[in-house]
Structure 1
């Protein structure tokens, strides 16, 4: 690991090239660039997750931690613009080369000027916000340059409002880790209907308003089947706990979490089944999202059905950057 304090973007580029040469090809064969925007206190979480994901997707990891912007308030009026960086090639991060950048002062508003020269050529760019994403991804140039953009609305103060905002701001290539966490539920539900001739006519999803998984699961069921689906309060602390289906033959099918990584599947006329409900670490969720770099159409359809915002899949995939300075009341180019 090489630490550079109060450095420049050019120096970081030069030192990264030197570290790669010294690694003797350990970091060759990169599959993608992974750009991560994260608060300083959670940089280690990002490193741990990237280490797991890099086992399947060797990548250049560019972590950006943005400090308070100078001039926004009295406390930051005299904050100095400064770049601190750490360079790690191989070592503790496995098949991954990383630059962790801490940007202070107004440099944080121009992070792309440091990040762009560090992108590995001829491989895709994925941007991940490990924290609250921008209201509009077009406000962040690190999102505009990416082919794939990963958010996590479960970390927002109001996940229900954040889910709708993700639909309003959606462009093909966007996804969210709340959707990724539904993979186990979707697999079990699809498998339950694949094994018989039963047809669902309605459903109830048990969840809470603070858990976006329930709303997305409802959206997925509606987008796949067209049946009416309502949300009901969950007894499991407001989290997604289960789903009940009414069947056309008069029977029922239900899938409910047992709280220990398993789920109980019940269907009229059949024996109960206890099945594993996929629960994964953050890095494993991230690795799933890095498997595809095209538009996630099932996600866009589920998001549309969950929020009532239509036409998500027909939107252009390319965004134009809108300059936003937090010292200004209104971003340039945004409507009043």
Structure 2
């Protein structure tokens, strides 16, 4: 196993010096509104450094970002994330929000030019933000509304926030026009099985996908992978016997994607094959499954637990703990990762004797962090693409 790369910083701080906003009531009118905003920017007061020197104001964009946000609060949160990244990832950002789907067809657009000056920069970088609020029939075709606003020859990242309707026509239309999709499997509805299976289908069709839920597993995967980089530990990997994953269940539904993805990652890295998909254990709430490995079987158990006064979970189904039991001849290795708040602690014992201790930390959740990673992604995320179909098959796909 190879430890995934750790998240990195997100560039120098910037200040928004100027912005200009125009309104439109049609998609065709958005380009006109942007032209008016650019004209106002050109005629506006020049940007100045602290010493009073004037800097150039320039239009900058390297991609088009399309965000679909079905709830008003999510649309505002997406705009905040985009604004945080404007200097490092200049783009034309199109945020599509939904109004009343049963009301009259309507488009209310707010087109903005926003200029940022980074410390020491010789130019003030200006980007375009477009917020579209759709009503009626338009809510059923967000991709068709956004398509005329894409910048020719620039790559497109499409982010469907909250619970994306993967497999639906609106989602498919958005996926068709994007070079990369961004979703969050931690927010999939109900137990997440249906969406996880559909997401695996999208990946199998060749779409490049980034998943916030998968990225949130990085600290867990890094600790586990790092444990087996220690002398003597890797020799136990062929003898895995049991994997237990504890997930938070603050309500009545056990959300599975994160646990399934972690199990799928281990299975895909170590060559385990699914023998039995997840199913409820008789007389209990736990879910059990089994893998076949060379020379034996690996039992999987997912235990839902009410976090109670424990860590505050961003989403149901967040991991609370992982236990992996392995054997080599008569020797036994037990690896546990526990969570206290946002802190993770790994402990490994060999024959009951402590041999490894390590610590990690869950990154404070910010949309901008994971949006930045998706914008910077190059090529395919092979570990994710190998873990996803296993996770989907475990979930019953």
**How does the TM-score come out when normalised to structure 2?**
0.68
The equivalent position to 1:284 in structure 2, one of 349, 364, 369, is 369
* Secondary structure of 1:217 counterpart: helix
Which structure has greater helix proportion?
A: 1
Worse-superposed segment, 163-172 or 90-99: 90-99
Instruction: Report the CA distance between 1:152 and its aligned residue.
Output: 2.0
Alignment of 1:131-146 (within 5 A): 131-136=162-167, 138-140=169-171, 141-146=173-178
1:63 aligns with 2:145: no
Correspondences of 1:103-114 after superposition (within 5 Å): 103-114=134-145
- Deviation of 1:96 after TM superposition, in Å, equals 4.1
Structure 2, gaps ≥5 residues long = 1-19, 43-55, 118-124, 249-253, 273-297, 308-316
Question: Aligned residue for 1:80?
Answer: 104
Q: Is the 8 A contact 2:223 2:358 kept in 1?
A: no
234 and 57 in structure 1: CA distance in 2 versus 1, 3 angstrom threshold? same
Segment of structure 1 superposing worse, 286-295 or 14-23: 14-23
CA deviation vs aligned residue, 1:238-264 (integer Å, no higher than 9, x gap): 5311212223341222211122x2111
Bigger radius of gyration among the two: 2
Provide the secondary structure at the position in 1 that maps to 2:181: strand
Distance 1:91 1:280, change over 3 A: same
Residue aligning to 1:115: 146
Q: Which sections of structure 1, spanning at least 5 residues, go unmatched?
A: 70-75, 313-336
* Partner SS for 1:221: helix
User: Matches of 1:27 and 1:308 in 2, distance apart?
Assistant: 49
Superposition CA RMSD, Å: 2.9
Q: Using the alignment, how far apart are the partners of 1:110 and 1:165 within structure 2?
A: 20
- Whether 1:265 and 2:265 are equivalent positions in the alignment is no
Question: Aligned-pair distance for 1:288?
Answer: 1.4
| Cα 1:277–1:68 shift into 2, 3 Å | closer
In structure 1, the residue matched to 2:52 is none
Contact 1:20–1:27 under 8 Å retained in 2: no
Quote the offset at 1:156 in angstroms.
3.1
CA distance in 2, matches of 1:231, 1:65: 40
Contact 1:86-1:101 within 8 A present in 2 as well: yes
Query: 1:148 Cα deviation (Å)?
Result: 0.6
Q: Give the Å deviation of 1:278.
A: 3.3
CA distance in 1, matches of 2:227, 2:127: 39
Q: Go from structure 1 to structure 2 and tell me whether the alpha carbon gap of 1:216 and 1:273 turns closer, same or farther (over 3 Å shift).
A: same
The alignment partner of 1:251 has SS state of strand
Number of aligned residue pairs: give it: 301
